[in-house]
Amino acid sequence: MRNIRLKHVNKAFGDDVILENLSLTIPGGSFFALLGPSGSGKTTLLRLIAGFETVDSGEIYIGDHNITHIPINKRNINTVFQHYALFPHMNVFENVAYGLVVKGIAKGIIEQKVRRTLKKVHLERHIYKPIQRLSGGQQQRVALARAIINEPDVLLLDEPLAALDLKLRERMLVELIDLQSELKTTFVYVTHDQFEALTVADYMAIMNYDGEIEQVGTPKDIYEFPISSFVAKFVGSTNIFKGVLQEKNGGFTVEVPELGCFEVAMSKRRKFDIASTLLMSLRPEKIEINKKEQEGFANHLTGTVEAIIYYGRSTQYTVKLKNGFKVSVFEQNEEHFPHEVIDYDDVVHLYWQKENVVLLER
C-alpha cells in the first residue's frame, strides 16, 4: 500500500484561511487518525484528499501518483460520511452495490461481492431491507460496506461513530481495527474524540485551532512525549507548571515561583537552555497522593483536597496548593476496601518521579 503525501497545501474559504502550508505523510496500509478540536481544519483536510475540495496551492500524492487535480469520481478513494449519506430510495443491497454498478460490472459478480462484503460487516441478514428500517449502527455498517467493496487505495472516515451511543461506539472501534488489519487498506480516521483516536490508530496527527499539525506519531509517542502543551492538554489531561531551568548538583531542576524547585530529567529528544523559561507537563495518573508523608521521592507538593470525582475505575482529586494553583490527580481504585480514605479538605502529599515529567517549550 502506498503512502499519502500532502505537500505545502493551502486552503482558504474566502478570507478564512483553514490550512496554511501544510505538509503531511500518511504511511500506506496504516490506520491513521487525524485528531483535533472542532474547527481545526481536519475535515477540510479529509475532503481535500477525497476530492470534494480542491487545494488553492500545493500537491497531493498517492505513492508517486499526483492526484491533486483528479476529480472525485476518478480517485481510487472512498469516504464513509459522518451522517452516512445512504441513498434513501435504495435498499441495503443497492446502496452497497452502487460503486460497482456505476462502473458497469457484471451483475453476477456484483451479487457475489455484495454478499461477501456484507458478511464482513455482519449485515448479511439485512441484505434487501430498506435503509430506513435499520438502526444507526447498522446504517453505519452499510456505509462502511458501500465504501470498502470498491477496494480503494484509501478509506476516509469522517467522525463515523459520532452519532452512536457509547457501548456501540466501543464495539465498532474494535470492528474497525479488525477490518483494517484484514483489508490492509490505508484508513484515515478524522475525530475530535481522543479516546477513539488512541484506540484505533497506528499513527496519529494532532491539529490545533489554527489548522496546523502540532505533532505526528504513534499514540504512545504523542501521549507520553507531547511536543507542546496543546497536545498534552488535548490528548488526555495534564498539569502544567511554568518555571526556569537550572543546573544543580549534576542534575537539572525547574524552579517554579512560589512552589519550589523540582528535579527533572533531561530527555535525549529535546534540549533546553539553562535559565530558559519552560513548561513542565505532569499527567495526573503519574502523581501519587497520600495523607502521610513519604520518603524517597524527589518531588513533593502539599495541598488540600478540594474536589473528588468518582469514576468507578479511578478517582480524580483536585488538590489546591498553597499558592492557589490546582493540581489534578488520578488514583486507580485498586482495592475494594482502600486502607486510606481521602476526603474533602484533607491535607495531602503529592509525589512523583522526575522521569515522569515532560518538558515543553510552549
Partner 1 sequence: MNRDINNTEVSKNVSFFMALPAFVWLLIFLYIPLGVIVALSFIRKSVVSIWPDFTWAHYLTFFDSLYYSVIVRSLTLSIITTAVCLLCAYPIAYFLALHAQKWKNVLLYLLALPFGVNFVILSYAWFFLLEKNGFINNILTSLGIISSPLQLLNTQFAIYVGMIYCYLPFMVLPIYAVLEKLDIRLIDASLDLGATRFTTFWRVVFPQSIPGVSTGFFMVFIPSFGEYVIPTLMGGGKFMYVGSLISHYFSVLRNLPLGSAFTVASSMVLLIVALFFYWRFRRMVS
Partner 2 sequence: MTRRWSQYTLPFFIALMYIFLYAPIVVLIIFSFNKSVSLFKWSGASLHWYNQAWQDDTMWIALRNSLVVSFCAVALSLIMGLMLVYYGRSFLKKIFFFFYGALIVPEIVLAVGLLSLFSFLSVPLGFTTLIAGHTILGLSYTVPILYARFNELENELTEASLDLGASTGQTFYKVILPLLAPSMVASGLLVFIVSLDDFIIAFFSASPSTQTLPLYIFSVIRSGDSQVITALSVILLAAGSLLILLLSSFKLKKLFSFGD
Q: Is residue 160 close enough to count as binding partner 1 by CB under 8 A?
A: no
Q: Is residue 87 close enough to count as binding partner 1 by CB under 8 A?
A: no
CA atoms in the 13 A half-sphere facing the CB of 322: 10
Q: Is residue 284 close enough to count as binding partner 2 by CB under 8 A?
A: no
Q: Which of 60, 147, 197, 327 binds partner 2 (CB under 8 A)?
A: 147
Query: Cell 507548571 identifies what position?
Result: 241
Q: Is residue 160 close enough to count as binding partner 2 by CB under 8 A?
A: no
Q: Rounded to the nearest whole angstrom, what is the least distance from the CB of residue 39 to partner 1 in the complex?
A: 14
Whether 57 and 8 have beta carbons less than 8 Å apart is answered as yes
Q: Rounded to the nearest whole angstrom, what is the least distance from the CB of residue 54 to partner 1 in the complex?
A: 7
Q: What DSSP line would sit under 16-31, residue for residue?
A: EEEEEEEEEEE-TTSE
Choice between 72 and 308, CB closer to partner 1: 72
Q: Is residue 209 close enough to count as binding partner 1 by CB under 8 A?
A: no
Residue 331 is inside which H or E element, if any? strand 326-332
Measured in degrees and rounded to the nearest 5, phi and psi for residue 209 equal -65, -20
Q: Rounded to the nearest whole angstrom, what is the least distance from the CB of residue 168 to partner 1 in the complex?
A: 27
Of 161, 112, 104, nearest to 136 (Cα)? 161
SS3 of residue 296 by DSSP: coil
Cα separation, 171 vs 190, whole angstroms: 18
Q: Which of 12, 72, 308, 347 binds partner 1 (CB under 8 A)?
A: 72
Q: Rounded to the nearest whole angstrom, what is the least distance from the CB of residue 228 to partner 2 in the complex?
A: 34
Q: Is 88 exposed, middle or buried (0-12, 13-18, 19+ CB in 10 A)?
A: exposed
Residues between 90 and 129 with contacts to partner 2, criterion CB under 8 A: 98-99, 102-103
The one of partner 1, partner 2, none whose footprint includes residue 214, by CB under 5 to 8 A per kind, is: none
Residues between 35 and 54 with contacts to partner 2, criterion CB under 8 A: 50-52
Q: Which of 14, 88, 250, 296 binds partner 2 (CB under 8 A)?
A: 88
Helices (H), 149-193: 166-183
Choice between 73 and 249, CB closer to partner 1: 73
Q: Is residue 146 close enough to count as binding partner 2 by CB under 8 A?
A: yes
Choice between 47 and 192, CB closer to partner 1: 47
> Residue count at the site for partner 1 (CB under 8 A)?
9
State whether the Cα torsion 171-174-178-180 is positive or negative.
positive
The one of partner 2, partner 1, none whose footprint includes residue 77, by CB under 5 to 8 A per kind, is: partner 2
State whether the Cα torsion 134-138-144-145 is positive or negative.
negative
State whether the Cα torsion 286-291-296-299 is positive or negative.
positive
Measured in degrees and rounded to the nearest 5, phi and psi for residue 239 equal -110, 130
Q: Is residue 312 close enough to count as binding partner 1 by CB under 8 A?
A: no
The one of partner 1, partner 2, none whose footprint includes residue 99, by CB under 5 to 8 A per kind, is: partner 2
User: Binding residues for partner 2, per CB under 8 A?
Assistant: 50-52, 71-74, 77-79, 81, 83, 85-89, 98-99, 102-103, 146-147, 150
User: Binding residues for partner 1, per CB under 8 A?
Assistant: 47, 51-54, 71-74
